[in-house]
A = this chain, B = another copy of it.
Amino acid sequence: MPTDDGSPAGESGAPRLGRRPSTTQAELSHVALTLFAERGFDDTTVEDIAAAAGIGRRTFFRYFASKNDLPWGDFEAQLDGMRHHLDGLPDDLPLMDAVCAAVIEFNRIPPEEVPWHRQRMRLLLGVPALLAHSTLKFQAWRDVVAEYAGRRLGVPAGSLEPQALAWTMLGIALSAYEQWLVHEDADLTELLESALRMLGERFAS
């Protein structure tokens, strides 16, 4: 499963042994997203993608576990980034502030990548099959938040408080994303901050 291979293109020092991979996850992802934009997700078969990338259908499934994983790229790496960011926050920062900061930071995207990311998210949240599949990815995201919260609160990550907090954060982030997709000119960071602020005000009744 090259899906979890950290060195897909083979730049690392290791002299490389055996036949080299003929493509990369990123390459496949790119090819696929292009096809999706042209014909739509459902009308693009795995065979189409494999053909467009010049590999066999069977080989495709060695790079991605499923067609649904294509738009996600290397999500695990991003999660590691968030974990790292959370660990670097000072302990005297209130838990909520820390988590909010992490959510905002996690979703900060460089201006030049905005159109690209928009298209990706429009797919993920707009295509039912992808939206459904995304739940499994978001579960991993929630785990990151819950583990941090659990550590800070001195309770198991699986207990109610961390879990509820993680779910809430996911909800806030996704509703901000929905707004972002609808309003072409909106700024994601501002939407996130606004949504977080709203929640605080509404609950502090």
Q: Which of A163-181 contact B (CB under 8 A)?
A: 163-168, 170-172, 174-176, 178-179
Interfacial chain B residues near A179, Cβ < 8 Å: 159-160, 163
Distance between Cα atoms of A194 and B198 in the complex (Å) = 21
- Majority SS of interface residues in chain A? helix
Q: Are B171 and A167 interface neighbours, CB within 8 A?
A: yes
Segment of A4-12, A18-26, A74-82, A126-134 engaged in the interface with chain B: A126-134
Q: Are B200 and A203 interface neighbours, CB within 8 A?
A: yes
Give A146's nearest chain B residue, CB to CB: B175
Is residue A70 contacting chain B, with contact meaning CB distance below 8 A? no
Q: Which residue of B133, B174, B198, B200 is within 8 Å of A132 (Cβ)?
A: B133
Q: Are A158 and B172 interface neighbours, CB within 8 A?
A: no
